[in-house]
Amino acid sequence: MTGPEHCLAAGFDYGTSQCSIGIVRDGAVALLALEGGLPRIASTLYAPRPHLNLDHRSDQTLDLTHHSYAELRFGQAALDAYLADPAEGYFVKSPKSFLGAPGLSQAVRDRFVAVVAAMMANVRARAETAAGRTIGQVVIGRPVNFQGAGGEAENRQALEMLVASAHEAGFRDVAFQFEPMAAAIEYEARLNHEQTVLVVDIGGGTTDCSFVRVGPERRSRRQRDDDVLGHSGERLGGNDYDQALALRSVMPLFGLGDGLNNGLPFPNGYFVDAVSTNDVNAQQRFYGRAMAERLDLCVRDGTHAERIRRLRKLQAGRGSYRLLREVELAKIALTGEDQAVVDLAFVESGLAAACSRADLRRGSARLLEHLAGLIDEACRQAGARPDVVYLTGGMAGSAVVREHLARVLDDVPRVDSDHFASVTQGLTLWAQRVFAQ
């Protein structure tokens, strides 16, 4: 491409659900095409088994040599390859969700770094093709808290892994910005007066709130810590809403709520593990040999054997990701409709689960309570009510979430961003400041 002095600086939203990257072109932010002409690609990777191992059966790790890299699939191509034959390869979705997990051994950290580096290298290569220039400097978005329970130690772990991945992917200089702060920077670029804004960012894996002073007098600053009056965040996002809807409306067709012939209930944990696609330990339990043996016994001893047989088929076919994808599509449909259907024909011909917006609301009650708590905490830290609430992230468009926010925020005006682009746009603007020559 070009020498280091001609490298571009970019804003990179390495998201739980999808990735996007932007540059400034002709004085305006431009998001670069990554897949199918669109400025985003799903945060997914598929690799044939010889090239990737995450289940501790050997010390093989992802090899980023040209030969093995050519075997990898990303985005929709990764999902298509996995669904074609789940047993023949590894499918990794949303590795960002795991980076702050406590208790990761160095070997597991190295494997995650390799996986994230492969995904970042793919995004970088596609972005450079679209831009026609080398991208050497990048500001990566980060949540307020990656995991939630372990505090700053786990945040440091996640950031260290992201830096290592970004360098391995070929980015020379790496900086970070809080994702909700990035959205505030994008909002600020359009303001002609000073305001306080509460950014509510509900992404695929995290929910973050930032209470920020914004305005034209602050746009050129390269240090904004004094403008952040409150921060709160938790590892709860769109994936968790998918799982809540699945447990309420779908998993009863697989035996949730049924009992065994001896009068004991069927263990709820089996169903939670089945839908916890963002929890590597849960997925290892669900797909393990011990689970297969337990489910075989439950088919024999269950009061509704045909339902448990479906769960066993889901387990044997490694179908959790596909099930959650169908649930996600139904959840999206519930934004505009009161009723939706989850297509489960991949498990059993003609099988489907009806769900409603009320089901999503009831199933997500705990998540909505957490959302209200995060808003209250950010406002408490600021010691004030915001002038405006700025909504971003994929879940910000959900009717259930918006109804809840209307109750929690009462009379505070709400402004919508481009839910899928505002963070990347803000990161791109910030990259021009922090990497200014």
pLDDT of residue 68: 55
Residue indicated by tokens 């770094």: 113
The CA distance from 310 to 271, in Å, is 12
DSSP 63: -
- If one counts every other C-beta atom within 10 angstroms of the C-beta of residue 94, the result is 19
The answer to whether 197 touches 214, Cβ cutoff 8 Å, is yes
Q: How far from chain centre, in Å, is Cα 161?
A: 17
pLDDT of residue 432: 94
CA distances from 325 to 17, 46, 228, 322, 419 (A): 11, 16, 36, 5, 20
> Which ranges of the chain have pLDDT less than 50?
1-4, 53-67, 437
pLDDT of residue 50: 57
pTM for the whole structure: 0.86
H-state helical runs in 149-226? 152-168, 179-188
pLDDT of residue 213: 96
pLDDT of residue 94: 80
Q: pLDDT tens digits for 402-432?
A: 999 999 998 899 998 888 899 999 999 999 9
pLDDT of residue 6: 62
Q: pLDDT tens digits for 225-266?
A: 899 999 998 888 999 999 999 999 999 999 999 988 888 888
pLDDT of residue 260: 85
CA distances from 41 to 51, 74, 79, 173 (A): 22, 8, 12, 23
Rounded to 10 degrees, what is the CA torsion of 49, 52, 55, 58?
A: 90
pLDDT of residue 51: 53
Closest by CA to 371, choosing from 352, 389, 355, is 389
